[in-house]
């Protein structure tokens, strides 16, 4: 019996291959976009973890200085107090034109040493030669190749056990190259400490213990918001895809009502039928899920290079550009497909379960019948919006922001049918001609079948408007900010402090205003903080992008009374002008102002240069901003090059620097734009599938009109017109939703994710473009059904009038 | 320790024959390193301190103790210095590497720990005026410029000790005034001892702290070339007899024939270097330790002094599973003379 | 003549000339007269009706409505002809479910540009639909729905009214009442009525009868 019943149920698809294709493609799209995002996130997270592990920092807690660096004598003292620690000195070294991050470790105590020793053995190097001059580098083969191209002095051991982009060396070499013989960056606290040692807080109160998890999670902390953004996008695509799936499942069950009734009449129990349908859905989910995973993998592989560029540019987080296949990812993708399918099919299956044995087939025709369900769905929508609003007004944080957005979007989608129906009713009132009257009424009648697709379109359009507005606002603000921030005509980086001093003197003698860019890296509440010292110069007074400041702020800064902090820092710790700020133990200044500092994940502060030098006399003096008349820039650059041995790329004029910054910015949002477009594509596909699935139900309604003298061509045009009308109304409704979304992204999500708030700018031109795009999507979606209609054999229409059912 | 593979190479070169030619060429030629010279007089307190021009050096203290609980204990405290290149440098540029081993042995347990440190940065080192040897929080220190009175501390994850040592006898110079020959081919080291310590203090074990008293023995030795190429390891005995006399004897095992030597120290502290071959030691019993068969009961004899004794490990499992592994533990002596002592055995594969 | 059918043949794909659904049928229908077409299932009577309504194409012969030869018309002109000259009443009523009764009645006439509100109101009154004008088809009984369909067809004042088993979905009593009303209104409107039925009782109510057998007039 089971086999016969299954065969009967499945025979449906043989007659409706397009419906089957819709179901599978819809589900594959949903799973695909979701899995793509997950694959990207997974790869990025794995990269962070791998890098942390490869640098031996995954298991051990760290001791970090509250400010500056750790004195070597402090390390020795802690050692002599019994703490087994591994010292690390980090910095950047330059060989020729290229700089490298270097991590200096004690090869006798660092957890990495064993791996490196093995690699060194395989190289055939003498043991411990890394501790003796000239020293030895350890690097990933790729990095080693780059290094070999610019220096031969120090032998390099290649080992893929290290992440790309970092050179590891014994402290003997690293401290020599970094010219820091007496300082360390941080200390790893090794496992297996002697019990009953004096506590670290007592021995070294100026050092902060950072838990292993949070040390490794430094990158994760910065990038979490980025990944949450991606996940939200993935979930949105998934939801949009499920709309398609839901439509297809409902239709396929609806069309098989007669069949189901017959089978039940023939004695097939309902339980078996529901089981068979569930099995059918599961099979579809697995097939479509697998297809989606394959597609998602390709999408992820295509997007990953941009994502890794973004993460590197924005957060300095290393992500390999290659994608690996993780079993967990495959399983979760399939689970999503199965879960999504049953979520989408639950209502239809439940309806099937409740279906009485004898009842007239459902006629889905009249808009009025749907009126009540529109009201119900609208009520649910309002509840969603209210709930989201309640969450954001009570809770704070990124998750609350996304809950608000989720509530808003879902609520708006649920409100959509009622709004469109109302709009159509209003339109019908305006209609004077019978054709128009019929068109409005018929469109309204078609709404229940279209509303899911329209919801998908609404979400896609609103997301496009919202994210587009966010990105464009950000870009506009960023460009303005760059103009202010990059006020100097030329930026030069000398190769050494000595050269820097010579350069500054020489430039001064030529009448060029030299603004030293000197900074000291410290820790504020465990997180990195960079303190810049600035000279008192009109450039800062005129150009620095202050968001909020006390009067005479620059006088106060110059007098050493006040500190300027960046917006991120102010928001993270709820600081405002007039408050006080502890830069280092014993160095507290009034907060004089807050400045915008886009694209920087970390805290930053500005003090008078002489005050910084008084605290940290040995901060490097190699970077300078130069003020001079713009027309003299090319000559100056040329003469600096002639006189000083400074690599070409170390002298950058303002325009190039801006261009470079903007390029990084634009690359950051490539993935956003790509996901935007894909979501819109999915929505267009949802419309197409809705129109196609409504096809067979449409004929009985079209045939009489045709019989009354509307040609098939006119009917086809009507189909397109109807689709346009629905898309247009949806697009109009999407605009306010998109703007609310943009506001939420700029004022809530951005603040949480990056630490800065951005002014919102509106771009009506973009809206028009998007409106046209929505209409285009509507035309494309309606084109296929319309074409079919215009070429339809009259016999098909005549069947409607056939007397024999 | 993760650095084990690296360090093993540095220290095993002279401690066993696993690398007979030595990765740094220890067995043959000393590149730039100072060599022990016959007739060179030792000079104190300077020679209590380090000799960075020599490749290797150690401060090696062992003690046989009796606890207030009536049980026998042994402790070891060793600081090794190994130079990757001769001489000293500033900070991280120093070529000196330090390693220390500490152990506590009872008949039923043997606990040990290892520390490794860079020279030049203050984490480890030795000064002679006043005398102090340290690595991390382990140290052997005096308030004076000599080795008469020392405090000794060390701690591992599961044990620690804190002891006072006071010498009631003179330093003993081995060989010819401290020039100690180590092979028939003439390999030699500088070698002196302070074998006359009275020891008291506390040993803390997982079961709790124990007050202990006993006697201890400090060895000081440095060289650049301690082993002949074919020597595979050694068995080293330091025995204290109830008569007050002491015997230091070692066997350097080699394919070409074992080389033995040692020093007889009379109850009054007078030292007599032994002729090569005068000291005899033969294994009586073997014990499986860490997968190797190791002699843990010996017949030791010095016919010239009518010594013929049985030397038996207090705990046959006194295995030092450190970067370079070896056997080291307290022994009891019976036979013609009775007493206690320490036995070190290296090079058993 | 409102309707002139000359030697029309029609076959569906896969049919040979011998088993074609229509194998040379001819008839004439003058204004103000009525003709009942009877025959067994499959005799081709619905097909002939569809051809007369310019809903389908024939293979050979000619059909004229008024002076218009259908064989010469393109899609657009055929649609225009249906819009303005021909009305249909079907067994399934085929009302537009999304429109009210009022809109359904007026739809065809307004599409054809011949809506006469007075005539429409008269029709509604006569058909007993005046109280139901704002309802939707689904809210009506079968008899009421068919009266709406008749109203829609006649509101156009068509030259030719085609009816395919108009009472086939109604019980006997309702059927007779609807037929009588329809014939009365047809007479008043001056249209020619071409009606397909399998019921000889209904056929007898019309002016003339034609029996179709195997695609030919019998």
Domains of chain B: 4-12+43-345 (2.40.370.10)
C-alpha distances in Å from residue B342, one per residue of A348, B251, B281, B332: 86, 14, 14, 8
Strand order in the sheet with C68-69: C22-29, C3-10, C60-65, C68-69
Contact yes or no for A707 and C53 at CB 8 A = yes
* pLDDT of B146 strictly over 90: yes
What does A94-125 look like in DSSP terms, one character per residue?
Answer: EETTEEEEEEEE-TTT-TTHHHHHHHHHHHTP
Band (B153; pLDDT cuts 50, 70, 90): very high
Contact yes or no for A194 and B134 at CB 8 A = no
What crossing angle do the helices spanning C117-127 and C101-111 adopt, rounded to 10°?
140
Which has the closest alpha carbon to B98: B7, B5, B220?
A: B7
Question: CA A359: distance to chain centroid?
Answer: 51
Q: Answer whether A803 touches C (CB < 8 Å).
A: yes
> pLDDT: is A43 or B123 the higher one?
B123
- A666-680, B82-96, C123-137: the lowest-pLDDT one: A666-680
Q: What average pLDDT does range B273-288 have in this prediction?
A: 93
Which has the closest alpha carbon to C194: C168, C159, C170, C218?
A: C159
* Per-residue exposure over C196-206, b if at least 16 CB sit within 10 Å of its own CB, e if not: bbbbeebbebb
Q: Answer whether B134 touches A (CB < 8 Å).
A: yes
* pLDDT of B314 strictly over 80: yes
* pLDDT of B9 strictly over 50: no
Strand, coil or helix: what is B94? coil
* pLDDT of B24 strictly over 50: no
Highest-pLDDT range among A766-770, B309-313, C40-44:
B309-313
Q: Search chain B and give the residue with CA nearest A135.
A: B93
User: Are the C-beta atoms of A113 and B6 separated by less than 8 Å?
Assistant: yes
- A119-123, A478-482, A747-751, A757-761: the lowest-pLDDT one: A119-123
Strand order in the sheet with C86-89: C86-89, C160-164, C192-196, C34-39, C208-213, C216-217
- A738-752, B145-159, B213-227: the lowest-pLDDT one: A738-752
Alpha-carbon gap, residue A347 to A376, rounded angstroms: 15
User: Are the C-beta atoms of A464 and A768 separated by less than 8 Å?
Assistant: no
Strand, coil or helix: what is B65? strand
Contact yes or no for A192 and B9 at CB 8 A = no
Alpha-carbon gap, residue A596 to A126, rounded angstroms: 53
* pLDDT of C34 strictly over 80: yes
- A118-122, A625-629, A758-762, B150-154: the lowest-pLDDT one: A118-122
Using only C-alpha atoms, what is the Rg of chain C? 17
Instruction: Check residue A736 and give its pLDDT.
Output: 92
* Residue A691 per-residue DSSP state: H
Two tokens, residue B51: 């000799």
* pLDDT of C6 strictly over 90: yes
> pLDDT: is A231 or B119 the higher one?
B119
Question: How far does A67 lie from chain B, in Å, by closest CA?
Answer: 22
Strand pairing of A603-608 and A527-534?
parallel
Band (A175; pLDDT cuts 50, 70, 90): very high
* pLDDT of C50 strictly over 60: yes
* pLDDT of B303 strictly over 90: yes
User: Are the C-beta atoms of A739 and A766 separated by less than 8 Å?
Assistant: no
Instruction: Check residue B19 and give its pLDDT.
Output: 31
Band (A497; pLDDT cuts 50, 70, 90): confident
* Chain A residues touching residue B121 (CB < 8 angstroms): 72, 75-76
Q: What average pLDDT does range A695-700 have in this prediction?
A: 75
Question: CB neighbours of A570 closer than 8 A, spacing ≥ 6?
Answer: A576, A591, A594
Sign of the Cα pseudo-torsion (A224, A225, A226, A231, in order):
positive
C-alpha distances in Å from residue A8, one per residue of A257, A284, A581, A799, B198: 12, 17, 76, 24, 100
Q: What average pLDDT does range A512-524 have in this prediction?
A: 83
Band (A190; pLDDT cuts 50, 70, 90): confident
Query: What does the mean pLDDT of chain A come to?
Result: 81
| A113 vs B6, B24, B160: nearest CB | B6
Alpha-carbon gap, residue A158 to A139, rounded angstroms: 5
Band (B111; pLDDT cuts 50, 70, 90): very high
Question: CB neighbours of A435 closer than 8 A, spacing ≥ 6?
Answer: A710, C111
Bridge partners of residue B65, in order along the sequence: B73, B214
Question: CB neighbours of A30 closer than 8 A, spacing ≥ 6?
Answer: A237, A238, A239, A240, A241, A242, A244, A245, A292, A337, A340, A682
Q: Answer whether A700 touches C (CB < 8 Å).
A: yes
Which has the closest alpha carbon to B123: B139, B112, B103?
A: B139
Alpha-carbon gap, residue C175 to B47, rounded angstroms: 133
Q: What average pLDDT does range B148-152 have in this prediction?
A: 96
Q: Answer whether B3 touches A (CB < 8 Å).
A: yes
Bridge partners of residue B106, in order along the sequence: B73, B109
Q: What average pLDDT does range B89-95 have in this prediction?
A: 92
Percent of chain A residues topping a pLDDT of 70: 88
Residue reference for tokens 């259908």: C70
Respond yes or no on whether the N-terminal peptide bond of residue A134 is cis (omega within 30° of 0). Answer: yes
Per-residue pLDDT tens for C179-214?
888 898 888 888 999 999 988 888 999 999 999 988
Q: What average pLDDT does range A743-767 have in this prediction?
A: 81
What crossing angle do the helices spanning A212-255 and A2-15 adopt, rounded to 10°?
90
Alpha-carbon gap, residue C148 to C89, rounded angstroms: 10
Bridge partners of residue C10, in order along the sequence: C22
| A80 vs B4, B23, B137: nearest CB | B137
Instruction: Check residue B227 and give its pLDDT.
Output: 65
Q: Which chains touch C (3 or more CB pairs under 8 A)?
A: A
Q: Answer whether A335 touches B (CB < 8 Å).
A: no
- Classify the phi-psi angles of A472: left when phi > 0, otherwise alpha if psi is within -120 to 50, otherwise beta: alpha
Band (B23; pLDDT cuts 50, 70, 90): very low
| B92 vs A109, A171, A193: nearest CB | A171
User: Are the C-beta atoms of A270 and A368 separated by less than 8 Å?
Assistant: no
Per-residue pLDDT tens for A257-276?
777 877 776 767 778 888 88
Q: Answer whether A790 touches C (CB < 8 Å).
A: no
Instruction: Check residue A195 and give its pLDDT.
Output: 80
Instruction: Check residue B17 and give its pLDDT.
Output: 29
ipTM confidence score: 0.89
User: Are the C-beta atoms of A366 and A445 separated by less than 8 Å?
Assistant: yes
| A81 vs B91, B118, B137: nearest CB | B137
Alpha-carbon gap, residue A688 to A745, rounded angstroms: 30
Q: What average pLDDT does range B255-272 have in this prediction?
A: 90
Question: CA A92: distance to chain centroid?
Answer: 29
What crossing angle do the helices spanning A398-430 and A434-485 adopt, rounded to 10°?
150
Q: Answer whether B160 touches A (CB < 8 Å).
A: yes
Residues of A (344-373) whose Cβ lies below 8 Å from C: 363, 365-368
Two tokens, residue A204: 């070294």
Query: What does the mean pLDDT of chain B come to?
Result: 87
Two tokens, residue C53: 């309504």
Question: CB neighbours of A783 closer than 8 A, spacing ≥ 6?
Answer: A720
Instruction: Check residue A364 and give its pLDDT.
Output: 42
Q: Which chains touch A (3 or more CB pairs under 8 A)?
A: B, C
Band (B22; pLDDT cuts 50, 70, 90): very low
Alpha-carbon gap, residue A562 to A556, rounded angstroms: 5
Instruction: Check residue A119 and give its pLDDT.
Output: 72
Strand pairing of C192-196 and C34-39?
parallel
Sign of the Cα pseudo-torsion (A312, A318, A321, A323, in order):
negative
Contact yes or no for B5 and A195 at CB 8 A = no
Q: What average pLDDT does range B154-177 have in this prediction?
A: 93
Contact yes or no for B85 and A132 at CB 8 A = yes
Band (A223; pLDDT cuts 50, 70, 90): low
Instruction: Check residue B11 and give its pLDDT.
Output: 44
* pLDDT of A660 strictly over 70: yes
| B6 vs A127, A133, A171: nearest CB | A127
Instruction: Check residue A51 and give its pLDDT.
Output: 67
Q: What average pLDDT does range B24-41 have in this prediction?
A: 67
A and B make contact (3+ CB pairs below 8 Å): yes
C and B make contact (3+ CB pairs below 8 Å): no
Highest-pLDDT range among A173-187, B223-237, B294-308:
B294-308
Band (B20; pLDDT cuts 50, 70, 90): very low
Which has the closest alpha carbon to A780: A712, A688, A692?
A: A688
Which has the closest alpha carbon to A63: A201, A185, A206, A186?
A: A186
> pLDDT: is B256 or B146 the higher one?
B146
CB count in 10 Å sphere of residue A606: 24
User: Are the C-beta atoms of B141 and A95 separated by less than 8 Å?
Assistant: no
Domains of chain C: 33-55+75-217 (3.40.50.300)
* pLDDT of B100 strictly over 90: yes
Question: Angle at the Cα of A95 (from A90 to A99), degrees rounded to 5?
Answer: 50
Two tokens, residue A377: 């769905």
Q: Answer whether A287 touches B (CB < 8 Å).
A: no
Band (B159; pLDDT cuts 50, 70, 90): very high
Instruction: Check residue B234 and give its pLDDT.
Output: 86
End-to-end CA distance of chain C: 22
Q: Answer whether A134 touches B (CB < 8 Å).
A: no
CB count in 10 Å sphere of residue B89: 16
Per-residue pLDDT tens for A593-619?
999 887 666 788 999 999 888 887 778
Best of A194, A195, A197, A198 to mutate (most B CBs within 10 Å, chain B): A194
* Chain C residues touching residue A707 (CB < 8 angstroms): 53, 55, 82, 88, 94
* Helical residues (DSSP H) of B157-308, grouped into ranges: none
Instruction: Check residue B80 and give its pLDDT.
Output: 93
Total beta-carbon pairs less than 8 A apart between chain A and chain C: 107
Two tokens, residue A648: 């070409």
> pLDDT: is B257 or B129 the higher one?
B129
Best of C13, C78, C99 to mutate (most A CBs within 10 Å, chain A): C99
End-to-end CA distance of chain B: 21
Respond yes or no on whether the N-terminal peptide bond of residue A219 is cis (omega within 30° of 0). Answer: no
Question: How far does C136 lie from chain A, in Å, by closest CA?
Answer: 8
* Chain A residues touching residue C55 (CB < 8 angstroms): 707, 794, 797-798
| B91 vs A127, A175, A192: nearest CB | A175
Residues of A (441-480) whose Cβ lies below 8 Å from C: 441-442, 444-445
Two tokens, residue A202: 């007592």
């Amino acid at each position: 019996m089971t086999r016969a019943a299954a065969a009967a149920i499945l025979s449906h698809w043989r007659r409706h291959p397009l419906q089957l294709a819709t179901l599978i493609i819809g589900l594959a799209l949903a799973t695909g976009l979701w899995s793509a995002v997950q694959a990207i996130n997974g790869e990025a997270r794995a990269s962070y973890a791998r890098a942390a592990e490869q640098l031996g920092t995954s298991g051990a807690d760290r001791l970090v200085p509250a400010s500056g660096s750790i004195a070597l004598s402090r390390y020795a003292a802690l050692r002599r107090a019994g703490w087994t620690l591994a010292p690390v000195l980090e910095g950047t070294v330059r060989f020729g034109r290229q700089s490298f991050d270097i991590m200096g470790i004690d090869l006798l105590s660092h957890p990495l040493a064993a791996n490196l020793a093995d690699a060194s053995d395989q190289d055939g190097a003498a043991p411990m030669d890394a501790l003796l001059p000239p020293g030895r580098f350890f690097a990933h083969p790729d990095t080693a190749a780059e290094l070999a191209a610019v220096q031969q002095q120090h032998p390099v051991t290649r080992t893929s056990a290290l992440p790309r982009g970092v050179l590891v060396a014994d402290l003997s070499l690293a401290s020599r190259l970094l010219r820091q013989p007496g300082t360390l960056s941080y200390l790893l606290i090794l496992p297996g400490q002697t019990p009953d040692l004096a506590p670290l807080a007592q021995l070294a109160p100026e050092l902060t213990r950072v838990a292993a998890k949070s040390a490794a999670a430094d990158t994760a902390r910065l990038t979490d918001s980025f990944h949450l953004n991606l996940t939200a996008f993935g979930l949105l695509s998934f939801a949009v895809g499920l709309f398609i799936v839901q439509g297809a499942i409902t239709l396929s069950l609806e069309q098989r009502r007669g069949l189901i009734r017959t089978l039940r009449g023939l004695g097939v129990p309902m339980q078996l039928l529901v089981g068979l349908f569930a099995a059918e859905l599961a099979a579809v989910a697995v097939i479509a899920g697998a297809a989606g995973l394959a597609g998602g993998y390709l999408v992820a592989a295509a997007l990953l290079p941009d994502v890794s560029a973004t993460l590197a540019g924005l957060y300095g987080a290393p992500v390999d550009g290659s994608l690996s296949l993780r079993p967990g990812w495959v399983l979760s993708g399939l689970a999503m497909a199965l879960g999504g399918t049953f979520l989408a099919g639950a209502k239809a299956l439940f309806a099937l379960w409740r279906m009485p044995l004898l009842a007239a087939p459902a006629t889905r025709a009249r808009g009025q019948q749907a009126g009540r369900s529109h009201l119900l769905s609208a009520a649910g929508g309002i509840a969603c919006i209210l709930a989201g609003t309640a969450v954001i007004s009570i809770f704070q944080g990124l998750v609350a922001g996304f809950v608000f957005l989720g509530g808003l979007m879902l609520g708006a989608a649920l409100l959509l049918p009622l709004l469109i129906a109302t709009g159509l009713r209003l339109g019908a009132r305006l209609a004077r001609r019978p054709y128009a009257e019929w068109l409005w009424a018929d469109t309204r009648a078609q709404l229940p079948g279209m509303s899911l697709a329209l919801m998908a379109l609404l979400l896609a359009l609103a997301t496009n408007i919202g994210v587009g507005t966010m990105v464009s606002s950000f870009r506009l603000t960023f460009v303005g900010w760059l103009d202010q921030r990059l006020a100097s005509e030329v930026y030069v980086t000398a190769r050494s402090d000595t050269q820097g001093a010579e350069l500054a003197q020489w430039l001064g003698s030529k009448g060029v205003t030299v603004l030293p860019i000197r900074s000291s890296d410290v820790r504020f509440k465990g997180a990195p903080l960079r303190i810049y010292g600035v000279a008192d110069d009109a450039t800062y007074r005129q150009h620095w992008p202050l968001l909020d400041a006390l009067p005479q702020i620059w006088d106060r800064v110059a007098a050493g009374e006040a500190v300027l902090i960046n917006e991120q820092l102010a928001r993270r710790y709820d600081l405002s002008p007039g408050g006080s700020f502890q830069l280092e133990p014993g160095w507290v200044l009034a907060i004089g102002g807050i400045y915008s500092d886009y694209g920087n994940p970390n805290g930053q502060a500005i003090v008078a240069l002489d005050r910084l030098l008084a605290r940290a006399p040995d901060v490097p003096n190699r970077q300078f901003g130069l003020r001079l008349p713009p027309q003299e820039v090319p000559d100056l650059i040329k003469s600096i090059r002639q006189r000083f041995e400074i690599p070409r790329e170390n002298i950058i004029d303002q325009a190039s620097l801006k261009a470079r910054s903007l390029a990084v910015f634009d690359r950051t949002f490539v993935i956003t734009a790509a996901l935007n477009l894909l979501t819109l594509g999915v929505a267009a596909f949802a419309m197409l599938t809705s129109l196609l699935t409504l096809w067979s139900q449409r004929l009985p309604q079209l045939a009489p009109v045709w019989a009354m003298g509307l040609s098939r061509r006119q009917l086809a045009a009507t189909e397109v017109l109807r689709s346009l009308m629905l898309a247009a109304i949806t697009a109009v409704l999407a605009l306010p939703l998109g703007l609310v979304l943009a506001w939420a992204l700029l004022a809530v999500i951005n603040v949480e994710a990056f630490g800065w708030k951005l002014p919102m700018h509106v771009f009506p031109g973009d809206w028009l473009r998007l409106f046209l795009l929505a209409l285009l999507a509507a035309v494309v979606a309606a084109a296929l059904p319309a074409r079919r209609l215009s070429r339809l054999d009259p016999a098909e229409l005549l069947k409607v009038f056939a007397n024999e059912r | 320790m993760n650095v084990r593979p690296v360090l093993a190479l540095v220290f095993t070169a002279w401690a066993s024959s696993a690398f007979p030619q030595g990765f740094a060429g220890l067995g043959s030629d000393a590149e730039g390193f100072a060599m022990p010279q016959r007739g060179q007089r030792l000079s104190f307190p300077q020679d209590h301190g380090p000799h960075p021009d020599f490749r290797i050096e150690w401060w090696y203290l062992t003690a046989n103790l009796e606890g207030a609980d009536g049980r026998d204990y042994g402790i070891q405290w060793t600081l090794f210095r190994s130079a990757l290149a001769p001489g000293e440098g500033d900070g991280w540029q120093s070529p000196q590497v330090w390693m220390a081993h500490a152990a506590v042995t009872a008949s039923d347990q043997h606990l040990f720990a290892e520390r490794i440190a860079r020279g030049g940065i203050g984490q480890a080192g030795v000064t002679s005026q006043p005398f102090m040897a340290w690595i991390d929080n382990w140290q052997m220190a005096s308030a004076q410029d000599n080795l008469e009175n020392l405090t000794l501390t060390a701690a591992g994850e599961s044990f620690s000790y804190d002891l006072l040592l006071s010498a009631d006898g003179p330093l003993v110079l081995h060989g010819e005034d401290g020039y100690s020959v180590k092979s028939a081919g003439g390999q030699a080291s500088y070698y002196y001892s302070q074998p006359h310590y009275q020891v008291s203090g506390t040993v803390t074990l997982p079961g709790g702290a124990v007050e202990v008293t006993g006697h201890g023995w400090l060895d000081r030795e440095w060289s650049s070339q301690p082993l002949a190429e074919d020597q595979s390891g050694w068995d080293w005995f330091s025995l204290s007899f109830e008569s007050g006399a002491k015997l230091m004897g070692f066997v350097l095992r080699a394919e070409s024939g074992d080389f033995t030597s040692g020093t007889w120290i009379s109850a009054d502290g007078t030292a007599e270097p032994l002729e090569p071959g005068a000291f005899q030691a033969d294994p009586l019993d073997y014990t499986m330790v860490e997968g190797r068969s190791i002699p843990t009961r010996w017949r030791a004899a010095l016919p010239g002094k009518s010594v013929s004794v049985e030397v038996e490990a207090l705990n046959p499992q006194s295995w030092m599973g450190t970067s370079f592994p070896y056997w080291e533990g307290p022994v009891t002596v019976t036979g013609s003379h009775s007493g206690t002592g320490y036995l070190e055995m290296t090079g058993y594969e | 003549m409102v309707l002139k059918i000359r030697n029309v043949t029609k076959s569906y794909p896969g049919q040979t000339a011998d088993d074609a659904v229509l194998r040379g049928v001819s008839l004439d229908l003058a204004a103000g007269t009525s003709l009942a077409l009877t025959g067994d299932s499959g005799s081709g009577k619905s097909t002939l009706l569809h051809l007369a309504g310019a809903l389908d194409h024939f293979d050979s012969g000619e059909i004229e409505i008024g002076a218009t030869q259908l064989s010469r018309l393109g899609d657009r002109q055929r649609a225009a002809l249906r819009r303005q000259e021909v009305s249909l009443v079907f067994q399934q009523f085929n009302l537009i479910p999304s429109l009210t009764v009022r809109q359904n009645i007026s739809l065809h006439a307004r599409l054809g540009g011949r809506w006469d509100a007075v005539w429409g109101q008269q029709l509604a009154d006569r058909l007993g639909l005046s109280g139901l004008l704002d309802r939707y088809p689904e809210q009506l009984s079968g008899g009421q729905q068919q009266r709406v369909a008749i109203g829609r067809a006649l509101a156009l004042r068509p030259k030719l009214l085609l009816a395919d088993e108009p009472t086939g979905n109604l019980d006997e009593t309702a059927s007779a009442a609807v037929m009588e009303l329809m014939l009365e209104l047809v007479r008043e409107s001056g249209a020619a009525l071409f009606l397909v039925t399998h019921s000889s009782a209904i056929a007898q109510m019309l002016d003339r009868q034609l029996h179709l057998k195997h695609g030919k007039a019998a």
